[in-house]
Amino acid sequence: MTMPDWPLFGIRLTCRAATLQPVREQDLPELADALPSDVGHDPRLELFDDQSAAQNERRLFCQGYWRALGTWSPSSWVLHLAVRHAGALVGVQTLEGDDFAVMRTVDTASWLVPSARGRGLGVAMRMAVLGLAFDHLGALAAVSSAVVTNAASLGVSRRIGYRDNGRGFVAETTGRAELQHLRLTVDAWRSAGHGREVTAAGVEPCRRWFGA
């Protein structure tokens, strides 16, 4: 169902075997059920003592969906896209922008159910949102960060052509972790020719929503 008042729901991206559409409220139960234990959450969010780790993560995941919609503005936005493979819901790919009209920079986050990992879907879904950002919204750079032990996330970035961009620390529930920052420029994206593999529909009425 499309909503003229919220055209973002009409966006549809494809890349290789991945199809992405904005997460809708009806997807939440299935996605929350599928939420892997290694996704994690912002450590500043409060946990309920009487809930299990999985219950807390499910609640925070659902709230993250509503927060992204409820706080959307052209100067600060978070787009959560449901990822489907062979018709099955397998994960979420997120694209974020702050002050995009000026910075022209996007950040990403993602997760896949364990059974869908390790066969190139992580690369395909990241490429899909990068195609949206670089080829439809006018992004100049994409950044990504992953703890240094997250070989899969770093593998996705490096496969697409991101370059290392320094290290920092991040607070996790278990303490401090070392973070690898990476950056991909629009020139690197174009020279790799990745955009040819991405199709994007429904973007035109949304451009101003992104500050594009």
Ligand X SMILES: CC(C)(COP(=O)(O)OP(=O)(O)OC[C@H]1O[C@@H](n2cnc3c(N)ncnc32)[C@H](O)[C@@H]1OP(=O)(O)O)[C@@H](O)C(=O)NCCC(=O)NCCS
CA distance 62 to 114: 20
Q: How far is the CB of 172 from ligand X (least distance, A)?
A: 12
Q: Is 159 in the site for ligand X (CB under 6 A)?
A: yes
- The reply to whether 38 sits near ligand X by the rule CB under 6 A is yes
Please, which residues have CB within 8 angstroms of residue 154's CB and are 6 or more apart in sequence? 146, 148, 180, 182
Instruction: Rule CB under 6 A: say whether 146 interacts with ligand X.
Output: yes
Residue range at the interface with ligand X (CB under 6 A); choices 24-32, 58-66, 153-161, 181-189:
153-161
Contact region for ligand X (CB under 6 A) — 23-31, 95-103, 154-162, 198-206?
A: 154-162
Q: Residue 89 or 109: which CB sits closer to ligand X? A: 109
CA distance 44 to 173: 9
Given the rule CB under 6 A, which of 31-39, 44-52, 63-71, 175-183 is the region that contacts ligand X? 31-39
- Measure the CA–CA gap between 51 and 61, rounded to whole angstroms: 14
